[in-house]
Amino acid sequence: MKRFNKKIKNYDKEITLLVLTESWCGDAAHVIPVINKVAELNPKIKLELVLRDENDHLMYAFLTNGGKAIPKVIGLDDDLNVNFTYGPRPSTATALVNDYKATHGKLTPEFKEDLQHWYNKDKGQTILSDLEQLLDL
């Protein structure tokens, strides 16, 4: 984390991280605090949260595999150009979900509990690694 903190503090581009979210979203409960901490470390990184269900036009512009999956992070420059999108979950968790769905067809309560354990063990490290790549640190 210390290495990442230094990189974020030295990040010299202005960027807004616009996040589509909802309070009931389990993935958002893990992703947003990490993104918030990143934004707190550098005043050039702004965090804006908007509710998915109140912003259909925006959500439909940033679907994930045709679905309204959240949280969805949209990295915007000063001219509101989209630099990247991220979400709804960290890369490793996405792979776990995709593999499980491919094998079982849908997510079960047991898998969701396993995913929660994965988030707890990972402690946001995959989110930081993913952001490091997206921000080109």
Domains of the chain: 2-88+124-134 (3.40.30.10)
Beta strands of the chain (E only): which ranges?
Answer: 15-21, 45-51, 72-76, 82-86
What angle separates helix 26-41 from helix 2-9, to the nearest 10 degrees? 60
* 40 band by pLDDT with thresholds 50, 70 and 90: very high
Q: Could you tell me the two tokens for 10?
A: 């030295």
Degrees, nearest 5: CA angle 79-65-19? 40
**Model pTM score:** 0.92
- Nearest CA to 114 out of 137, 93, 129 is that of 93
Model confidence pLDDT, tens digit, residues 94-127: 999 999 999 999 999 999 999 999 999 999 999 9
Q: How long a stretch of residues is the chain?
A: 137
Read off the pLDDT of each residue in 29-53 and give the average, rounded to a whole number. Answer: 97
* 137 band by pLDDT with thresholds 50, 70 and 90: confident
